[in-house]
Structure 1
């Protein structure tokens, strides 16, 4: 007789909060060159924007695609060095942690603080295609 080993895994209805996550995957073009910025406490970060075109499949014929602009922030120094080399128009694949921030009840409803905001924290980025070089640009050395 052979002994049979069974692997049993229990599943709980109350998930661990440390396993919770919200992630956004984007494939789009950089709207401008990534920018180096500083927080109020003088911490360096890079801000960049990815433009995505919304799908028109299933919408009435003649419907034009619209563009959604996604603002991402990177606080990782090694990622920041790489991000700063990227150029506007590059087609990229990016992953970001997604956080929805509720409005400050004491803020003016017309201010950014008085509105619900989506906060996207850079995780990874991969360049899928670089933008075409224009004739008036100098050659890379």
Structure 2
């Protein structure tokens, strides 16, 4: 009787996976996403489109850290705040956004779209300038704004 040790791995030919690069776009894997961690600059605003579709617009402020490198004189300029306007067209997200308040620290993921200026528009108007359009994907509340005492709860001492 002859016994043979046989492995399935040895019997199957090894298959090499070659990565093919193509000039055709792979739309399913293309992504342009912006991730922001910042504070709401004002309470989210509910608006409607020309076709009466409801959406929410909200403003997130971010400050880059560390600040820019020191200049020739050795002084370091302060970091600048950047304001990002994000638009949400998702009814479920809009219900959540309505409850957020100015000053809330949030984590936001948004689709990023660069819109070219209208050549017929005045360059000093928004339509005549390149614009970044941010479409809301997700938001997480990291920290609620600090509670501010209202005038009614503050008691005067006599």
TM over 0.5: yes
Question: Once superposed, which parts of structure 1, at least 4 consecutive aligned residues long, lie more than 3 Å away?
Answer: 5-10
Gaps of 5+ in 1: none
The answer to whether the 8 Å contact 2:40/2:60 transfers is yes
Indicate conservation of the 8 Å contact 2:67/2:79, yes or no.
no
Determine the C-alpha separation between the residues in 2 that align with 1:131 and 1:37.
24
Q: Which residue of 2 aligns with 1:83?
A: 97
Aligned residues: 139
- Answer yes or no: is the 8 Å Cα contact 1:56–1:63 preserved in 2: no
> Normalising by structure 2, what TM-score?
0.80
Deviation at 1:138, TM superposition (A): 7.9
More displaced 10-residue stretch of structure 1: 53-62 or 92-101: 53-62
1:112 matched residue in structure 2? 126
Structure-2 change in CA distance of 1:32 and 1:7 (3 Å): farther
Give TM-score, length-normalised by structure 1: 0.89
Rg (Cα) greater in structure: 2
The structure with more strand, counted as a fraction of residues:
1
- Structure 2 unmatched ranges of 5 or more: 1-5, 154-158
Aligned to 1:11: 19
| Cα RMSD, aligned residues only | 2.0
Hey, what's the Cα distance between the residues in 2 that align with 1:103 and 1:41? 23
CA contact (8 A) 2:110 2:137 kept: yes
